[in-house]
Amino acid sequence: MIAFNLHTLKIDNPAMTVSLKSIMTLTTLFFINACGADNSADSVWRALPLKDTVLLTLPHGKVVIELAPQFSPKHVAQFSQLTQQGFYDQTSFYRVIDGFVAQAGPKDGSKEDRSVPLLAMESEWQTDKKWTYTPVQANDLFAEQTGFKDSFALGYQASKDSNFGKAWLTHCPGTVAMARNNEVDSASSHFYVVIGQAPRYLDGIMTIFGRVVYGMQHIQAIQRTEAVEGDYAVDHRDYTKIVTMQLMSDVAKADRIHIEVENTESTKFAERLVKRKAREGAFFYKKPPPVLDVCQIPIRSRRVK
């Protein structure tokens, strides 16, 4: 008993039916695969390119991060370069606040810290009429529209005449972004992963450049550095260290973790959103409001050989 099977998190498993449409779909799929594209409307899964994938090895587990060079090219370039230099190896998660963020980087003010160039903010971009995304929800508390693009959650605001607009990646659990000082263009190497309720008030003023696609439970298990008032202080020697941070393309073949993620541009994904909003099934004896929090839609990952 106690099903509590919120099937919304389970993999959709519709009965197999082969229609003319499916056959046409299949044909298209083969064609598109042959061209190397993988986010057509018919591909449920999208393989992550090894060079845009990071393997973060923690003492207690392995984590995979998908980088977003299409949204934050300079941040990804610098982060990738530092990663390749072994810059993050043996650095600590020195600011870990339960329900908020796990932040890591070199020792504050150290030679390594000061050696890294500052980056210009890459938090939002202009869109034109041709730009597309998968819409999720209108009139979200923090955005006129929310949606997904390339599996990343985003906010969108159209111009008054709808001829163009602006879009920005949004902070959800698992989001990887660069920390900064008070100045807008002051990020360098310190990064954080969101480990609690989406701090969306940071949207548009921080550069998001990746997201955790595997091993998020190990990020959640990182030693907190801030204790509850009145409790025993956390010893800095207990802080969780990064064992190694590597681009997946630099990892020995046998040790690579190959991940495919849900293609948010697919027809199946759009269908899943509709279904999730409707909350069908006997469990929902009373229907919740037909709305979706863009950060409460898990984007599935799978491990492939």
Q: Is 11 exposed, middle or buried (0-12, 13-18, 19+ CB in 10 A)?
A: exposed
Binding-site member from 168, 175, 193, 199 for its own copies (CB under 8 A): 199
In 3D space, the residue among 50, 102, 104, 107 whose CA is nearest the CA of residue 246 turns out to be 50
Q: Which is nearer to its own copies, 212 or 247 (CB)?
A: 212
Q: Under rule CB under 8 A, which residues in 97-136 are in contact with its own copies?
A: 97-100, 103, 105, 108-109, 113
Return d(Cα 58, Cα 63) in angstroms, integer: 8
Contact 68, 55 (CB under 8 A): no
**Which residues between 27 and 66 bind its own copies (CB under 8 A)?**
none
Closer by beta carbon to its own copies, 174 or else 247: 174
Shortest Cβ 190–its own copies spacing (Å) = 4
Binding residues among 77-96 for its own copies as defined by CB under 8 A:
95
- Judged by CB under 8 A, the number of residues near its own copies is 76
d(CA 292, CA 270): 13
- Rule CB under 8 A: say whether 142 interacts with its own copies: yes
Coil, helix or strand for 75?
A: helix
CB of 94 to its own copies, least distance (A): 10
CA distance 155 to 136: 10
* Among positions 140, 145, 149, 151, the unique one binding its own copies when judged by CB under 8 A: 140
Binding part of the chain for its own copies, among 29-37, 71-79, 81-89, 210-218 by CB under 8 A, reads 210-218
Out of 141, 233, 252, 254, point to the residue binding its own copies (CB under 8 A).
Answer: 141
Q: Which amino acid is at 10?
A: K
Instruction: Kindly provide the b/e burial profile for residues 27-47, where b requires at least 16 CB atoms within 10 angstroms of the residue's own CB.
Output: eebeebeeeeebbbebbbbbe
Which region, judged by CB under 8 A, interacts with its own copies, from 4-12, 49-57, 235-243, 244-252? 4-12
Token pair 């298209």 in the structure block, residue: 28
Smaller CB separation from its own copies, 74 or 302: 302
For position 190 contacting its own copies by CB under 8 A, the verdict is yes
**In this chain, which stretch among 66-74, 84-92, 180-188, 246-254 interacts with its own copies, using CB under 8 A?**
180-188
Q: Does the footprint of its own copies cover residue 282 (CB under 8 A)?
A: yes
Alpha carbon distance 84, 189 (integer Å)? 13
Q: Scanning residues 227 to 246, which ones bind its own copies (CB under 8 A)?
A: 228-231
Q: Does residue 268 touch its own copies according to CB under 8 A?
A: no
Distance linking the first and last C-alpha atoms of the chain: 36
Tell me how far apart the alpha carbons of residues 202 and 187 are, in angstroms, rounded to a whole number: 14
